[in-house]
Every structure is written in structure tokens, then in C-alpha cells.
Amino acid sequence: MIMGMKIKDILTDGFNVNGDIEKNISGIAYDSRSVKGGDLFVAVKGENFDGHAFIEDAIKKGAKAVIYERKAIGDRQEAIKKYPDVVWIGVEDGRDALAAVSHNFYGRPSQALTVVGITGTNGKTTTSYLIKSILEKWGKDTGLIGTISYLIKDSAYEARHTTPEAPDFQSLLKEMADKVCSHVITEVSSHALSQKRVDHTRFKVAVFTNLTRDHLDFHHTMEDYCAAKVRLFAELLTEDSIAVVNADDAYGRKMTDDLRAQWSRVKDQGKRILTYAIDDQNADIVAYDIKTTFKGTSFKVRIKGKEDIDVISPLVGITNVYNMLSSIGAALSMDVPIKSIKEGIAMTGLIKGRFEKVDMGQDFLAVVDYAHTEDALERLLVTARQLMEAYRFTQETEKMMKAKRRQYAITEKKAEKSGSGKIITVFGCGGNRDKGKRSKMGEIAAKMSDFVIITSDNPRGESPRAIIRDIEKGISGDNYIVIQDRNVAIGMAVELASSGDIVLVAGKGHEDYQEIEGKRYSFSDRTALESAIRRAIGRPSFGGGTNYRGTDTVRC
């Protein structure tokens, strides 16, 4: 546990100090509201507020030292004169300084760990859990920092951000090192990379999953979004690290070419790139002979320089094949034995909110998924369609076999119960986020589903109806209805489902809340789906539909 550290011991080159650097600080704060006596306050510019406006508030709460950006202090020079006992530290970049002093304050913990960073639009969470399972099968104690939770061995902590701010991130690494974790797997978001939250961390392995439209409310362009992701590979890898890159992704291919050129120019021979793919047969790791069903997935993997291996997993769909390939690449980068890789993948079960099957004994497939981008929604629907086709093929095969055994009566009874094989999708879009993806998600959902129920996600400060109207702009058909209340929408999807159908509830995944007009309300897609199914299968066959209270206007 950090009891305090002299200011001089956390400084780095380029800091302009005015004050006594022999003073001790007891912590680091970047939000003036959380400052405690003895802290160092780092003024950074956020999305909505500028920390420089709250320097005096931080001092009044007991900050002993302040880091400020020299170009931003401006007319606050009077504050420096007003508080001569405070140590004032001027820097060029407040976020870089926050990352540097956090890294130093917590004893540079990444130097004692093997840190694996995963970035990309989709697949980060599932890949992180796959790598964790593989490493544990190898006998390693692990830590995980990600969207669902922060894990230190067997202990779980609430995750407020996919990648926390620099002091919180370094504090987690410190705790993991103190508890003798050898490896840490962390999701690294584009926000975190843009805001330098993980700078100065030593990454041994970096994984790139894919890049599709998302977060353009923050990054504004795909070029800026891509540039943020690339920072992990181009700027933050150690001298002997390995980049694991999806060669089927256009951005992944370009990044591979750019990194190889960059590393060749600087004669950085210690860094390597390992590519994985399904389509690109020239990749280092290639999956083939893929079979996926409701129960799981199997495929073969060709690895350059090694024997082909068989992989079996309870996870389903092509998307998860990519996730498993990326985890195989990361594991090979750390010299994990093939046996541990195969066992770790086989032991990775359903991940909360990631194609999470909800089974209450119903005769249709019900799934909760975090898909909240156009690409993720399309991948989800492709997976559902593949499963539907596999299911139909299996049903037809079983029917033929039973016919051959002259069990016609049984076959007829089962045929009477079988549904038409519909895909029913429930989804919405978040408020105060990239509006450009809404109509595209509507278009994809309507084209690839048999029926769609458009509903609210996290409207935040926006009008739910305005968000829904944006979604509707992308839909040209009439195979949808609107039910603004998400709970009622999920219930209606279950009401409409027949034997052999697939109900997909997309967008929120693991989240256990809805954010409406700035307030958070308890809400879980899984809980809502479980309740709706329980009601449906508990009804007598001659009963009517559920009487929903507070149902919004339903319209086509």
C-alpha cells in the first residue's frame, strides 16, 4: 500500500517546478471533488470541464501540489501567487503528466507484470476472458481490467470504465502485482488511448480485433478513431513485444504494413507481428473447417511452423472464432503450450452479455448481446442466421432418419410444434452518442431479421422518441414495430416467438441499468428476458396474452 511519496520521486523530464519537491504527497487526484488532504491535483481537460477552473477548489480541500498545463493557466497566475505553500508544477500536456506521475507514484507496477492490451471496436471483452482462461490453465495467477468488471485472481470489483483513468489504472496494476499476479489482461478503449490513460505502462502483447464505426461523437472521424487505436501498437509497446492483428480487417492490414515499415526504419528488430484470419490464407494463424451450432463451435487452426490443432468451444458464431484466434495469437506470443491453449478455450463458458443464451426451458433460442454498433449488430444477426440454418438442417436430417425408421407419427407431432424459424430482434440506440449509426443499425436490423422491435437503450439526455425516429430513417420495409418501454418490448418479442425461433435482445448486454434524463434506473436485459419467458411458459396453452401496463403506442 502506498503511504506517501516525495514529489521529487514522481517527477519526470520537462516538468517546471516551483516549490519544495521534498514534500510528501499521499495520493493523486484529477477530479477536484475527490481531493483529500495531502494529494497532488492534476488539472486536465475533460469532455465537459477543464480541471484548471477547479484548481483553487482542490487547494482548499487540501491539495499540497498542483500540476497544470503552462498554456492553460492563463489568467490564473494570481492563484500561484496566492498559494505560495503549494508546489506548482507546469507541464506541456496534463494527461501525459497524469499518466507519468501515476506510473511513478505506484512504483511502475507494469514492470513486474506481463501486461496484455486488447483494443478494437468489437470482441475485446470476450477475447480478454479467453486469454484469462488460457493463462489460468497454464497455472498463472491473473488480473483483468475490462468492461464487465475488474478481476484480481478470484476477487471481482465494479468496472466504472472499460479502461479507468491513469491513477486508478496504475493502482489496479499495483494491487495485482502486490497480490502476486504474473499476468494482466486489459481492454484498452479508444477513449483511454486518446486521453493517455495507459501511457507509460509496459505492454508485452497488444491485440487488435477490428475497427468499425463507433464513438464518432468523440473522435469525429474514422481516421482519428483509427489513430487512437494505433497508439497502443506504435507508441506503447516494449522493445521485445508482439502485436497480434486481425488480417481480415482492412484497418488491421494497413496497420500491419505501417508498423512493419516503422519498425524497419528504426531497426526495432525486437518487436514482432503475428496475424490471424479466416479468409487471409497467408496469415500466421488461420481457422478452417468451422462448424457452429446452438451448442458451440469447433474448427481447425493452421499455425505457421507448428502442427494444426483442433479447437472446441461452447461459444458460438464466426465472431467468436475471431475472438478465439486472437486469444491463440496472444497465448503463442507468451509461449503458452498448445495443450493449455486448447483447454483454456474449451473451459471459457458464456460471458455476461456476449451472445449470452437465456434458457428457461423454452423451445426457442433467446440471446442477450452487447451489440451496439452497426458492425456488431450485423455480426450478431449473421451468427443468428447461421445458427438458424444449422438448426433447420439438423431438423431435416432428424426428420429423414425418423422417416426411415417409420416413426411417422412422432415426426408429424414434432412438425406441428415447430415454428417458422424467425429471427426476432429487439434493439435501440444510445442517446448523446454517434447519431450517424442509428439509421444504419435500423437498416441492418430490418434487412437481416424477420421482425424487429425498436425500443429505448440508454437515451441519456435525448428524447427516446427522437432516437427511435433516427433509427426508423434507415428502414424501408414494414417488418417492425416501435415499443419505447424496453421491458415491454422484450416481453412482446417473447410473446411473438414460436418453437425454433431466435429472440435477440441487443445493445445493453451486461449492463444493469438504463440512463434516462441523466438518472440511472436498475434494468437488466437478461432479467427482463428471463421474466418474460417465465411468464410465457407458465401460461396454459389456451390462455391469452400478457396484459402489459404502461405500454407505449405500438406502430408500424
Q: What is the pLDDT of residues 169-189, one digit of tens each?
A: 999 999 999 999 999 999 998
- Which residues share a beta bridge with 503? 366, 424
Q: What is the pLDDT of residues 214-226, one digit of tens each?
A: 555 554 687 787 7
CATH architecture of the domain with residue range 5-103: 3-Layer(aba) Sandwich (3.40)
Residue 399 confidence class, pLDDT cut points 50, 70, 90: low
d(CA 156, CA 510): 15
CA angle 65, 66, 70 (to 5 degrees): 145
Would you say residue 406 has pLDDT above 50?
no
Distances (CA, A) of 160 to 27, 31, 149, 179, 265: 20, 15, 8, 22, 40
- Three-state SS for 278-301 is CCCCCCCEEEEEEEEECCEEEEEE
Of all helices (H) and strands (E), which one includes residue 79? Answer: helix 77-82
Which CATH number applies to 356-538?
A: 3.90.190.20
Q: Which residue has the higher pLDDT, 337 or 374?
A: 337
pLDDT, mean over the chain: 86
What would the mean pLDDT of 265-280 be, rounded to a whole number? 86
d(CA 4, CA 26): 4
CATH 3.40.1190.10 applies to domain 108-347: yes
C-alpha grid cell for residue 346?
Answer: 474449451
Q: What is the pLDDT of residues 6-32, one digit of tens each?
A: 999 999 888 999 999 999 999 999 999
Q: Which residue has the higher pLDDT, 362 or 3?
A: 362
C-alpha grid cell for residue 127?
Answer: 477475447
Burial, 458: exposed, middle or buried (Cβ in 10 Å; 0-12, 13-18, 19+)? buried
How much is the pLDDT for 76? 57
> Which of 119-123, 381-385, 417-421 is predicted least confidently?
417-421
Residue extents of the structural domains in the chain: 5-103, 108-347, 356-538
Q: Which residue has the higher pLDDT, 239 or 282?
A: 282
How much is the pLDDT for 397? 46
How much is the pLDDT for 2? 52
What would the mean pLDDT of 481-507 be, rounded to a whole number? 94
What would the mean pLDDT of 495-511 be, rounded to a whole number? 92
